[in-house]
Amino acid sequence: MVTSEVVPQQVRIPLAPESLSAERIAYLDGLLRQAKHAAAVFTQYTQEDVDRIVKPMVVAGLEQAQYLARLAVEETRLGVMEDKALKNMVATEFVYNYVKDKRTVGAIREFPERGLVEVAEPIGIILSLTPITNPTSTVLFKCIMAIKTRNAAIFSPHPNAWRCCHEAVRIMYETALKHGAPEGVFTCLESHGLPENAYLMRHKDVGLIDATGGPGMVKAAYSSGKPALGVGPGNTPVYLEKSADLNMAVVDIITSKTFDNGTICASEQTVVMDDEIYELALKKFADLGAHICNEKETKVLERTVIDPETGYMQPIAVGQRAADIARMVGIPVKADTKLLIAPIQGVGREHPLSAEKLFPVLAVYRAKSVDEALKVCVDVNHAGGIGHTAVVFSRNEEVIRKFGEVINAGRIIVNSPGSIGAFGGVYNDMVPTFSFGCGTGGGNSTMDNVNVYHYLNIKRVARRTQAHMWFRVPNQIYFNMNAVENLHRLESKSTIIITNPAMEHMGHVDIVRRHIPARTLVHVSVIPDAEPEVAVIEQGVEALHFYKADQIIALGGGSVIDAAKIMKLKYESPDADLEELAAPFMDIRKRVVEYPTMKVNRARLVAISTTSGTGSEVTPFAVLTDKLSGRKVTLADYSLTPDVAIVDPQFVMSMPKVLTADTGIDCLTHALEAAVSIYASPYTDSNAMQAIRLVFKYLPIAYQRPQDEEARSMMHNAACIAAIAFSNAAVGVNHALAHAFGARFHVAHGRANALMLPHVMAFNASVPTKFMPSPNQRGYIAHKKYATIADLLGLGGSTVDEKVKKLIAATEKLLDQLAIPHSIAELGISREDFEQAIPDLAKIAFDDPSWRSNPRMPLVTELVQLFWSAYEGWGGASASTHKHSA
Amino acid sequence: MSTIAEGFKIEGDRVAECIHEAHMQLDTVCDQTTLDFSSVLRITPRDLRAMEELADRAENESVKVVLCGVNVDIYKVLKLVKLAARFSFATNGAGSIELGREENRHAEPTN
């Protein structure tokens, strides 16, 4: 337990042990050596060994409780023997009741669902400083804690409580030794001196200082540079609120404040009472043996029991009976007076009795309101008691809640005595202790009731866990020729078709309208064929509101579908802030900014794609351009995924050849990047692999023979399937490069992807300079994934390396078949222009979130190298990579 | 304690005594002696003191003391009291934990 020492401001612990003789140092080294051996040997003990020792120690402490209490009172002249005996019993029986079933050896806690095990590691040697006010109980408590945690302890008692502490240590040690504890596990300094403490505090073999005592000693412990459990002084405010059970409160306060003559630092110091109950409460105190001081008596007390120079309590009063204090200072009271109650008008140095008083003198304050009462309690709390203990008596939950919020105390005791309540385990379910942590406010390392876990190093054995994954797709996907007919299944009162002028011109809108049930009101909103802008979105949302739409049909390429996704988002959740929702994230599953779930409108989104590449009809992504700010934001959330996707090849039969090639390679890039992504799963692999197979088989045909229905259909399916894969596994560094390069040199996305693709495959297939953290994968597997794809395509090769090479060659051949340039240089971009752009390109590519799912983490220098490889053309990348061992 | 070809067998229930006996015979040893700890499950502070004394004398007489069959719990005790560095250690095979087995560089994917 923390105590303010008798004269705390006078305590000085020297910082250096120069005053120690060589003999004294040898003596201390001998103690340390003995403790060190004991602590080391103790590490071999099992939980059962330890528990076999603890129980008889507790019994011994209980048997000797009165004997040790008597010794303590005789030696210290403080407190009450009966109360000290009770404290000795709490320190043994109550503490044992808490620790007996606690695991403190080996695995102490397991969290199988989190793959975590906590394993106890003893500290070694604990230097244990004990106070004068609770000498033997603190020793008993610390001995039990040390044995339970397999530590050795060296005790350094307060000099004025040395004999009783030494006896307590002896009883504990002999009992522990008899039951198997290592020889030397407890020692007690044979004589006490501050230089000895300073030497021990700084000794390399001491693992922890547990300093229970006055502020000087606690400060010395913290200043030693050693880990320390030093706990601070108190000044306990009590709020006696008008709704409280007054009879109970008065008895509790008297019980607590007179317990061991008020030596417990958690005992009540100033009681703030509501005006309405003030007189009645004082009467009840008086009826139960308290003396209510008049103004003159209060002044006498202020001058005598508090040092006017320092503002601290006078040592002579500490732990003395109320009647004796009254006699000493000349206040006439009955011989059986339990408590002196002194009304005060404020808190601080000008009101001396508002300070901590470790004797049965209690200050009381009459408050006119709850607000005033709470403020006075805060004042008392801040007048030397931050972090320690506070008490509130009330039946008003709001008052209790507010008190708990405004008072900074590790123990906020409700409707019970402060001192005995703070121990824990008697009046409440707090952890039993004799050492009260006061948190940083009190200059302490902990605010807990110090317990066995503070005597342990707790190691965490963390097993590898797989991240939770999922696979999300639209509710319904209709595919193959004339899949659009399925629109007739979708009930709607009011439908808006979002499309672009080309679709209307080509008659595609009419085809769609034809299959919408006749009873549905249909409106068409034509938007420009470009990445959606804020203004376009706003107009679309207005139309949705105007027509009270319950269904949106997006007919077009990626831009139109993206626009419809954002319109739906703003229509259903008008307060959605697109800028905020576009906040960067690393993993969509763990993103900080969450999309709205409360919706004021509901509309089904049906996406009909008219290109075979982006797969926007099934993806959770949408890109928005804000012309005013010049910014492009990417929105990503599964709530953006269309509800229904229609993959009908009739809408892509007339795609131009270049568009067929570019979108087809975009689709292939999606599939290849999803296949090697760190988020790849068996679910995404099945889609990625199938998409890759379809692209290699049907893209050249669709390119060469645009009217080949089967090829068009299969490529349309491939785009959708690849998008399903990358919607759940994400893309990679190829997209990061393509985004940066395409935007800078105005190259179509699919074509930009194509220019990077062979180089990125070679990059990913080689041994990474930096691996990407990837809990779901065992080892680096990108090259093996490529080899698996090569096998799927029947490309041959007998080793992984050969298969990878054949896949890259097949990809280059495919690009050739689609008349895609071999290099960036072939686009007509000069080397000088490209060189000038490279620093920006690398920076932008590195900022692009796409690569964060890439199997290989790219260094900026590697991004530069990849850009240059793409500039030079095929064959330049693989030469610079390391091969995997077969 | 029984004398074995390489040195001394330490009995689990009289560790300090056995070490003391080895200590007494240290002057009959040329350069190296071995203490077989394979029967020792746990040591005490008294055993540690005996080992310290043995280490002191062995160092004075330039004799290398090899401990074999030391279990990891005892090894940790010796580390904690800084005694491990004063002895050499050999494993006697039985009961030892095989450490450092090389893993395949690229394990098969689980996903």
> B77–A182: do the CB atoms touch at under 8 Å?
no
Q: Considering CB atoms only, which of B46, B74, B107 is closest to A779?
A: B107
**Which residues, 6+ apart, have CB-to-CB distance to A846 below 8 Å?**
A736, A858, A860, A863
Give the whole-angstrom CA distance, residue A715 versus residue A670: 13
Together in a domain, A173 and A319: no
CB contact residues (below 8 A), chain A span 635-694, against chain B = 680-682, 685
| Residue A641 in tokens | 């995924």
Together in a domain, A542 and A571: yes
Give the whole-angstrom CA distance, residue A203 versus residue A196: 11
Is position B99 within any domain?
Answer: no
Q: Are A512 and A555 in contact, with CB atoms under 8 Å apart?
A: yes
Q: With contacts defined as CB-CB under 8 Å, which chain B residues touch A182?
A: 44-45
Q: In A573-708, which residue ranges form alpha helices assigned H by DSSP?
A: 578-581, 657-676, 682-704
A9: number of Cβ within 10 Å: 15
Q: With contacts defined as CB-CB under 8 Å, which chain B residues touch A41?
A: 42-45, 48, 77
HEC string of A310-325 equals CCCECHHHCCCCHHHH
Chain centre to alpha carbon of residue A295:
54
Comparing C-alpha atoms, which of A193, A196, A121, A185 is closest to residue A153? A185
Together in a domain, A643 and A693: no
Last residue of a domain, one of A591, A621, A650: A650
DSSP A401-422: HHHHHH--EEEEEESS-HHHHH
Give the whole-angstrom CA distance, residue A818 versus residue A814: 6
Together in a domain, A72 and A216: yes
Together in a domain, A604 and A747: no
Residues of A recognised as catalytic:
265
Q: Are A229 and A454 in contact, with CB atoms under 8 Å apart?
A: yes
| DSSP reduced 3-state for A176 | helix
Q: With contacts defined as CB-CB under 8 Å, which chain A residues touch B74?
A: 44
What pLDDT is recorded for position B26?
A: 87
Sort A288 into a burial class: Cβ within 10 Å, 0-12 / 13-18 / 19+.
Answer: middle
Size of chain B, expressed as the number of residues it contains? 111
Q: Is B56 on the interface with A (CB under 8 A)?
A: no
Together in a domain, A635 and A683: no
Q: Which residues form the domain of A779?
A: 657-880
Together in a domain, A700 and A613: no
Last residue of a domain, one of A589, A620, A650: A650
Closest residue in A to B80 (Cα) is A40
Going across the sheet that includes A228-231, the strands are A186-188, A152-157, A125-130, A206-212, A228-231
What pLDDT is recorded for position A166?
A: 96
Burial A538-573 (b: 16+ CB within 10 A, else e): eebbebbeebebbbbbbbbbbbbbbbbbbbbbbbbb
> B104–A779: do the CB atoms touch at under 8 Å?
yes
Q: Are A871 and A831 in contact, with CB atoms under 8 Å apart?
A: yes
Burial A128-154 (b: 16+ CB within 10 A, else e): bbbbbbbbbbbbbbbbbbbbbbbbbbb
What pLDDT is recorded for position A255?
A: 97
Indicate which CATH number applies to the domain containing A705.
Answer: 1.20.1090.10
Q: With contacts defined as CB-CB under 8 Å, which chain A residues touch B45?
A: 34, 37-38, 41, 182-184
Is position A267 within any domain?
Answer: yes
Is position B48 within any domain?
Answer: yes
Q: Considering CB atoms only, which of A183, A184, A781 is closest to B109?
A: A781
Going by their DSSP bridges, the two strands A494-499 and A621-626 should be labelled as: unpaired
List A188's β-bridge partners, or say none: A155
**Which residues, 6+ apart, have CB-to-CB distance to B34 below 8 Å?**
B4, B6, B7, B8, B65, B66, B67, B68, B90
Task: State the residue for tokens 């904690």.
Answer: B80
Is position B100 within any domain?
Answer: no
Going by their DSSP bridges, the two strands A106-111 and A116-122 should be labelled as: antiparallel
What pLDDT is recorded for position A10?
A: 38
Closest residue in B to A686 (Cα) is B111
> A682–B111: do the CB atoms touch at under 8 Å?
yes
Q: Which residues form the domain of B11?
A: 2-90
> A43–B77: do the CB atoms touch at under 8 Å?
yes
Is position B109 within any domain?
Answer: no
Taking each helix axis from N to C end, the angle separating A749-765 and A657-676, rounded to the nearest 10 degrees, works out to 30
Tally of domains in chain A? 4
Q: In A77-214, which residue ranges form alpha helices assigned H by DSSP?
A: 81-89, 95-99, 135-148, 162-178, 194-202
Q: Are A643 and A606 in contact, with CB atoms under 8 Å apart?
A: yes
Taking each helix axis from N to C end, the angle separating A733-745 and A860-872, rounded to the nearest 10 degrees, works out to 60
Is position B31 within any domain?
Answer: yes
Q: Is B24 on the interface with A (CB under 8 A)?
A: no
Tally of domains in chain B? 1
Q: Is B104 on the interface with A (CB under 8 A)?
A: yes
Is position B27 within any domain?
Answer: yes
What pLDDT is recorded for position A17?
A: 56
Indicate which CATH number applies to the domain containing B6.
Answer: 3.30.750.24
Can you give the pLDDT of all 111 residues of chain B as single tens digits? 555 545 899 999 999 999 999 999 988 877 899 999 999 999 999 999 999 999 999 999 999 999 999 999 999 999 999 999 999 999 765 433 333 333 333 333 433
**Which residues, 6+ apart, have CB-to-CB distance to A317 below 8 Å?**
A304, A305, A325, A328, A357, A359, A361
Is position A18 within any domain?
Answer: no
Low-confidence ranges of chain A (pLDDT < 50): 1-15, 876-886
Is position B24 within any domain?
Answer: yes
Give the whole-angstrom CA distance, residue A125 versus residue A825: 71
State the DSSP code for A852.
G
Is position A440 within any domain?
Answer: no
Together in a domain, A482 and A411: no
Whether the model pTM is above 0.90: no
Q: Considering CB atoms only, which of A183, A779, A780 is closest to B46?
A: A183
Give the whole-angstrom CA distance, residue A5 versus residue A790: 80
Together in a domain, A727 and A644: no
Give the whole-angstrom CA distance, residue A851 versus residue A755: 17
Give the whole-angstrom CA distance, residue A557 versus residue A610: 5
Together in a domain, A641 and A765: no
| A458 Rama sector, left if φ>0, alpha if ψ -120 to 50, beta otherwise | beta
| DSSP reduced 3-state for A16 | coil
CB contact residues (below 8 A), chain A span 105-134, against chain B = 124
Comparing C-alpha atoms, which of A37, A50, A34, A64 is closest to residue A170? A64
Is position A445 within any domain?
Answer: no
Give the whole-angstrom CA distance, residue A378 versus residue A408: 8
Together in a domain, A396 and A514: no
Is position A539 within any domain?
Answer: yes
Q: In A288-396, which residue ranges form alpha helices assigned H by DSSP?
A: 295-305, 322-329, 370-382
Closest residue in A to B73 (Cα) is A44
What pLDDT is recorded for position A212?
A: 87
Comparing C-alpha atoms, which of B48, B73, B13, B45 is closest to residue A182? B45
State the DSSP code for A531.
S
Q: Considering CB atoms only, which of B77, B108, B110 is closest to A41?
A: B77
What pLDDT is recorded for position A584?
A: 78
State the DSSP code for A334.
-
Indicate which CATH number applies to the domain containing A347.
Answer: 3.40.309.10
Q: Is B12 on the interface with A (CB under 8 A)?
A: no
Is position B47 within any domain?
Answer: yes
Phi, psi (degrees; rounded to nearest 5) at A267: -70, 160
Last residue of a domain, one of A175, A202, A231: A231
* A231-273: pLDDT as tens digits: 767 999 999 999 999 999 999 999 999 999 999 999 999 999 9
Strand runs (DSSP E) across A449-561, as ranges?
456-462, 476-479, 494-499, 521-526, 551-556
Give the whole-angstrom CA distance, residue A390 versus residue B19: 59
Burial A49-58 (b: 16+ CB within 10 A, else e): bbbebbeebb
Give the whole-angstrom CA distance, residue A676 versus residue A786: 8
Together in a domain, A226 and A292: no
CA angle B107, B108, B111 (to 5 degrees): 125
